Amino acid sequence: MDFSPGDDNNLKGKFPRKLGVALGLPRSKDPLFSPVQHYGCVQVYKVYSNGPASRAGMREGDIIIEVGGDPVAKLPDAGKDSVVALIRYIQSQTPGEVLHMLVVREGKEVHLHVEL
């Protein structure tokens, strides 16, 4: 599930169609996290224009740490693959639903409300 940002060939199958982003394992050098703390987080590598994430203010490089009030690390199957667990969670939501997401951006926590 790990891929290099900017390599669109590696993004296939790594984005939830309802959110409008490409996701992967964190590689950020964000000062809030050490490499060990990246467990259970998912990084946004691409935000597609006019998608729900874009409209909510999500940015490339954001690190998703919570979704729907739950830590990404606590989602079903997150221990196996946090990216797949997050994608499954998002795709299980109803269109039109507003999903609360907590991301880390430039060392600060940012709350986003994404309408799917």
Domain holding 92, by residue range, is 8-115
Would 58 be classed as within a structural domain?
Answer: yes
Per-residue confidence band for 113, with pLDDT thresholds at 50, 70 and 90: very high
Helices (H), the chain: 52-56, 82-91
CA distance 4 to 113: 27
Phi, psi of 104 (to 5 degrees): -110, 125
Per-residue confidence band for 77, with pLDDT thresholds at 50, 70 and 90: confident
Residue 32's alpha-carbon distances to 2, 65, 67, in angstroms, are 20, 12, 18
Domain count, the chain: 1
pLDDT at position 107 over 60: yes
Per-residue confidence band for 8, with pLDDT thresholds at 50, 70 and 90: very low
Scanning the structure block, which residue is given the tokens 């797949």?
A: 84
CATH of the domain at 55: 2.30.42.10
Lowest mean pLDDT among 59-63, 80-84, 89-93, 106-110: 80-84
Would 35 be classed as within a structural domain?
Answer: yes
Q: What pLDDT is stored for residue 95 in this prediction?
A: 86
Would 29 be classed as within a structural domain?
Answer: yes
Would 1 be classed as within a structural domain?
Answer: no
Q: Average pLDDT, stretch 64-84? A: 86
pTM attached to this predicted model: 0.77
Q: What pLDDT is stored for residue 29 in this prediction?
A: 60
